[in-house]
Amino acid sequence: FFKTENQQRELIMFTLENLDTPKGHIEGKSLHVTDASGELAYADDKKQKPVKIHFLGPKSREGKAATLQFMKAYSKTQELRDSDEDKSFEALDAIEDSICNRISAVATGWENVNNSDGDVEFSKEAIYNACLRSQDLRDQCYKFIQNEEAFIQA
């Protein structure tokens, strides 16, 4: 059944402790950003500098706090959405703001993010503003931080 003795030993040595789920959430993972065409984004033509954003997982302390803040903000928009049309637009803006706040709360850094002036230094404010300006970036980041499987360490 096993091709080598090593494969058999590896299977026997597996324990539940080897599947350290909380560790991945606490240490975080990186999202390799894609461009508008869905291709992985790079900061150079040789594709040696991937554009990445680092996040703590949703089960980390920061992730849980960000989720609670988001839920509070989201519930406050319920009243706005149920009122007149002008308030509904206001609610949509508030939801986008809450999503950007949630993203920035768990973002810990980035690599190879630049603009026409060169590299952009990471800050919570910088990631918040980038997500607020770019719906595509906001969607990628938000989907990534909600995906608990992305943070599991096998």
- pLDDT of 50-81, one tens digit each? 999 999 988 888 989 998 888 888 777 776 66
Cβ count within 10 A of residue 85: 7
- Predicted confidence at residue 119, as pLDDT, reads 86
CB atoms near residue 144 (< 10 Å): 19
Give the pLDDT confidence score for residue 33 in this predicted structure: 96
Amino acid at 41: A
The pLDDT value given to residue 136: 96
CB 79 within 8 A of CB 85: no
Task: Look at residue 67 in the predicted model and tell me its pLDDT.
Answer: 87
pLDDT of residue 58: 87
Query: Low-confidence residues of the chain, pLDDT below 50?
Result: 1-4, 6-9
Q: Tell the residue number behind the tokens 């706040």, with chain if given.
A: 101
Phi, psi dihedral angles at 97 (to 5 degrees): -60, -45
